[in-house]
Amino acid sequence: MSDVVAVMRRTLLSCTSLVQGGLAGAGMAGVVDISPAWAAKPDLSERLSQTFMNLSRQDLTALAMALGVLGFSVVAAILLMRTRVRAAANEQRLRAEIRELQSEADRFRALLFAEPQVLISWGAGEDRPQISGDTALLLPQDAKQPLRIVAFGTWLPPEPALQMDHAVDALRSAGEGFLLNLVTSAGRTVEAMGRAIGGQAIVRIRDLGGLRRDLAEMTLRHDNLLEETGMLRAFAAAAPWPLWARGEDGKLNFANAAYARATEAADAADAIERNLELLDSDDRIAMARALNEHATFTGRLPIVIGGERRMYDVHALRAAGGSAGIALDAGEAVTLREMLARMADAHRRTLDQLSSGVAVFDGRRRLAFYNDSYRRLWDLDRAFLDGNPDDSSVLDRLRAARKLPEQPDFRAWKARLHEAYRANEAAKDVWYLPDGRALSIVTTPNPEGGVTYLFDDVTESLDLARRYDRLITVQRETLDSLTEAVAVFGSNGRAQLFNPAFARMWKLSPEALSQQPHIDTVEAWCKPLFDDDGAWQTIRNAVTGIDNRVAVPLKLERRDGSVLDCMTMPLPDGATMLTFHDITDSENVERALRERNDALETADQMKVDFVHHVSYELRSPLTTIIGFAHLMNDPGTGPLTDKQAEYVNYITSSTDALLALTNNILDLATIDAGAMTLELGPVDVRTTIAAAAEGIQDRLTRDRIVLNVDVDPDIGNFIGDERRIVQVLYNLLANAANFSPPDTVITVSARRTEHSVRFAVMDEGPGIPPEVKDKAFDWFESHANGSRHRGAGLGLSLVRSFVELHGGRVHFDSTVKHGTRVVCDFPLDQTAHRNAAE
């Protein structure tokens, strides 16, 4: 119970403190005096304690809650009153500040818009600007959309509007301020200033008047003058002509790069520093005198630049503060003037060489020029023409001499002729003279006034035209009589000419062809007989093509079995002639001959294959027979009778000859198949000849034939296949031995030339008949020609094959009854031969 009393006591004290504090805050502390001292009186406390002790627990709880609610209400009321008092004071203070700020804003606004101006502001992240001020300054009076101000192109010219756009973009994006003086489309001078203030981009546009306008206009003019001056200085510095300026003291104070190059200075600054002169002293004195007297100087003076003396047009003038000058290269002008004079002279000489008569009358209708053909054409006196007569006088003299066409009204005819002086285009006419001549006359008005007459004697041309017409008629009759089909297509692809054979060959209507159909139409008509798109494409390209116009031969096999030989022939005038010739019969004969040739080639190949196969099949048993024959001749096998030994010798010699023949056939077959390879190495000429001669010693001994070897002492070695060269020389010596009578001489010689080694074998036999020379190197060509021996006809074939395989050549000189000389040339450089073959 004592605890409850204590709690109640503390609660009461707290409420008392709260009430006292609220009253104090509200200014009512003196009205109600509730102090802890009063609440702490002993007798009252005791009475309250006694009273509380007499209450039950529920009553105490209810009393505490009532007291708490009472205390909260009192405290809330006190706090509300205190807040309202503070709010009233704050409101009064804020109203006073608002009135003061509004007054200050009005003063600032009045001050800001005291002069005509427009403010445009963009907040952070805002695209729509706030616009205030006098918009009529920039927009028309009837414009009701202030936002049109930010469309600068509506009130500014294009270039200032673009400059304003860039400046505003830089202000809004990077905060870069600007100040521009602009002239509106209406001619008003305004100042545009942009600043970034307080996170906003603000642009102020105000009208400039009075001194500020004058200052702005002067600033604009100053900027323009600076820009113009900079441009002029840049142009002067980069100009290809020497430019300079001098002060009153005559010192050089400006020079461009061309001046520096002309004076051989390092640069313009070097030329100014050294005060280099471009002109000679005499020319400088003359220019200074002219500037003092007339303030200008113009002259064509020689200037030495880079060691070359050239002519320049020098222009100088005196200005405030000194003088300025420029030197223009006049060399080209002088050259052009000289060239023009030479061209005019050459033009006159050319006109004098023309066969056409030329007469030029000036604007006063007087003769200014004539060539000799004109004088000879009309047979006029040179003195009369050199006197520059007028046009009418010349015509009158020609009429008096009856050299002009007869006219019923000569005055009117002459007036029509003189209309050329007022015409704009040339006129052509033909005059038929009384002497039978026909003249073509062209009257051309000159740009500087006057008329040029051009006379051509067309008498012969007209006669040629008549003869040409007759020739065309004869040509037409000739084409119509040809059996070959002929058609001529123009450059536009249309048929211009055809003969009846063409219509008959392709079964076309002459009436349809006379309508000049296009090549595509003719192709469609002819396709029932010949439907080869590739061939027709070739014909179309030949007819309609522009480039690579060449004759194209074609062979057309039509559906009816006929064969045509077609030729497309380009003509000089751009047309194309097509000719068709029926070669069906000759084609059939050619096919038969071709089939026969194919059969012969097949038979020849079969022969080669047969020889190759049989040679390989014979080689194996021959090797066996030779081996056994040598074995039987071996004394270790056992003794043979004389007759048996003789037979064995016959077998050995015959098999050796047969084996050599078989080897030759195999070599020829290998060479023919392209499988033969040479084993190249150094070849000793003397050793090679000795090895080849050893194989025919028995024949030479038997027939008492002398072998004469003639080798150059300095022949040395060369690169080749030694075994094959021995085989070549052996065949040549064997062939010479076979055809040489007994008691004769065979000569083998070797000589070294610049590019080859030459072997020659010469015998004293009967020679080679002329009808055999062309076939002497063919396979199996053997002719006894009085010889005791007749071979298989492979020796010379092998000789030619091996020599050609080395890159050489073989030939022979033979005279009937005076022997044969065979010559073989082997190249020294086998590497070059092989590279050329590859």
* Higher pLDDT among residues 538 and 674, named by residue: 538
Please, what's the b/e burial string for 161-187 (b: 16 or more CB within 10 A of its CB; e: otherwise)? bebbeebbeebbeeeeebeebbebeee
- Distance between CA atoms of 826 and 390, rounded to whole angstroms? 89
Least confident range of 247-256, 487-496, 625-634, 748-757: 625-634
Q: H or E element: which one contains 238?
A: helix 210-238
The rounded mean pLDDT for the chain is 79
Report the pLDDT value the prediction gives residue 198, as an integer from 0 to 100.
Answer: 76
Cβ contact 202:156 at 8 Å: no
| pLDDT tier for residue 23 given thresholds of 50, 70 and 90 | very low
Report the pLDDT value the prediction gives residue 780, as an integer from 0 to 100.
Answer: 47
> How many CB atoms neighbour CB 159 within 10 A?
8
Count helices and strands in the chain by DSSP H and E runs:
27, 27
Cβ contact 748:709 at 8 Å: yes
- Distance between CA atoms of 157 and 184, rounded to whole angstroms? 7
Report the pLDDT value the prediction gives residue 584, as an integer from 0 to 100.
Answer: 85
Report the pLDDT value the prediction gives residue 246, as an integer from 0 to 100.
Answer: 86
Report the pLDDT value the prediction gives residue 675, as an integer from 0 to 100.
Answer: 56
Mean pLDDT of 415-421: 88
Of 255, 270, 248, 378, nearest to 323 by C-alpha is 248
| pLDDT tier for residue 638 given thresholds of 50, 70 and 90 | confident
> What is the separation of C-alpha 63 from the centre of its chain, rounded to a whole number of angstroms?
112
Render pLDDT for 582-616 as a digit per residue (tens, 0 to 9): 888 888 888 888 888 888 777 767 766 666 666 66
* CB half-sphere exposure, 213, CA atoms < 13 A: 10
Name the token pair of 811.
Answer: 């030939």
| pLDDT tier for residue 19 given thresholds of 50, 70 and 90 | very low
CA dihedral 730, 732, 734, 739 (to 10 degrees): -170
Report the pLDDT value the prediction gives residue 334, as an integer from 0 to 100.
Answer: 73
Residues of the chain with pLDDT > 90: what percent?
2
SS3 percent helix, strand, coil of the chain, rounded to 5, is: 50, 20, 25
- pLDDT of 242 above 80: yes
Report the pLDDT value the prediction gives residue 462, as an integer from 0 to 100.
Answer: 80
Report the pLDDT value the prediction gives residue 114, as an integer from 0 to 100.
Answer: 59
Q: Which residue has the tokens 């500020």?
A: 212
Render pLDDT for 149-205 as a digit per residue (tens, 0 to 9): 888 888 888 888 898 888 888 888 888 888 888 888 887 888 888 988 877 888 888
Cβ contact 26:76 at 8 Å: no
Report the pLDDT value the prediction gives residue 26, as an integer from 0 to 100.
Answer: 40
pTM value is: 0.32
- Distance between CA atoms of 389 and 410, rounded to whole angstroms? 19
Report the pLDDT value the prediction gives residue 815, as an integer from 0 to 100.
Answer: 61
Of 330, 339, 268, nearest to 298 by C-alpha is 330
Mean pLDDT of 420-447: 88
Render pLDDT for 691-710 as a digit per residue (tens, 0 to 9): 888 877 877 888 888 888 88
Beta partners for residue 458, in sequence order: none
- Distance between CA atoms of 530 and 578, rounded to whole angstroms? 16
- pLDDT of 635 above 60: yes
Cβ contact 199:125 at 8 Å: no
Residues of the chain with pLDDT > 70: what percent?
81
- pLDDT of 21 above 60: no
Render pLDDT for 539-549 as a digit per residue (tens, 0 to 9): 988 888 887 78
Q: Which residue has the tokens 């600032």?
A: 108
Least confident range of 354-358, 438-442, 560-564, 628-632: 628-632
Q: Return all residues near 347 (Cβ < 8 A) that are at least 6 apart.
A: none
Q: What is the DSSP letter of 366?
A: B
Q: Return all residues near 504 (Cβ < 8 A) that are at least 6 apart.
A: 485
- Distance between CA atoms of 160 and 522, rounded to whole angstroms? 70
* Higher pLDDT among residues 416 and 223, named by residue: 416
- pLDDT of 144 above 70: no
Report the pLDDT value the prediction gives residue 34, as an integer from 0 to 100.
Answer: 42
Least confident range of 165-169, 385-389, 639-643: 639-643
Least confident range of 343-347, 624-628, 652-656: 652-656
Q: Which residue has the tokens 């202030």?
A: 146
Mean pLDDT of 321-334: 80
> What's phi and psi for 488, nearest 5 deg?
-115, 125
| pLDDT tier for residue 775 given thresholds of 50, 70 and 90 | low
Mean pLDDT of 5-29: 46
Report the pLDDT value the prediction gives residue 389, as an integer from 0 to 100.
Answer: 92
| pLDDT tier for residue 517 given thresholds of 50, 70 and 90 | very high
Report the pLDDT value the prediction gives residue 200, as an integer from 0 to 100.
Answer: 85
